[in-house]
Structure 1
Amino acid sequence: MRMRFLGSTSEAGACPTLYETDRGTIVVQGLQVSDPEALADLRDVLDGETAVEVPRELLTEIAARVLPEITATAFQGSAPAQPATG
């Protein structure tokens, strides 16, 4: 697997950081969550999985930069989503 750096909110270039993989997934680099109470709130954690914490600003900043280019290519020719009716 190869990864492409998407961005970080760290001035030193350390974590937290987001990467895009050549498999179409996102890798999150951040501090591992170790608080027992927080870990107890997780659902269906598989062997080999862990939780990392990243600031909301990192996700919104990267989404604003990356999603427009993904949306432009991934959804060409598709009809816009219709709002759910309840």
Structure 2
Amino acid sequence: MRLRFLGSTSEAGACPSLYETDRGTIVVQGLHVTDAEALADLRDVLDGETIIEVPRELLVDIARKVLL
């Protein structure tokens, strides 16, 4: 799989960041969520899956760039 950087809200280009894959999917780089209450709210988490947190503005910004 190959990744193409889409954007970040970090000034240093670190996380959180979004990438597009050559398979037509999106990869999200961000902080691993460890909050017990948040994890208790999840449903149907498969082995090997995890959740990460990204700012809403990152998703909105990338959606505008990709969709327009």
TM-score interval (norm. to shorter): over 0.9
After superposition, what is the alpha-carbon deviation per residue over 1:56-82, rounded to whole angstroms, capped at 9, x for unaligned?
0000000000123xxxxxxxxxxxxxx
After superposition, what is the alpha-carbon deviation per residue over 1:1-58, rounded to whole angstroms, capped at 9, x for unaligned?
0000000000011100000000000000000000011001111000000000000000
Q: Percent identity?
A: 82
For structure 2, the 5+ residue unaligned runs are none
More RCO (CA 8 Å, sep 6+)? 2
Instruction: From the two aligned structures, give the one with the greater strand fraction.
Output: 2
Residues 1-80 of structure 1 mapped to structure 2, 5 A cutoff: 1-68=1-68
With structure 2 as the length reference, what TM-score do the two structures score? Answer: 0.97
Q: Which of 1 and 2 has greater Rg?
A: 1
Which residue is 1:83 aligned to? none
State the superposition RMSD in angstroms: 0.5
In the comparison of the two structures, how many residue pairs are matched?
A: 68
- The alignment partner of 1:6 has SS state of strand
With structure 1 as the length reference, what TM-score do the two structures score? Answer: 0.77
- The alignment partner of 1:50 has SS state of coil
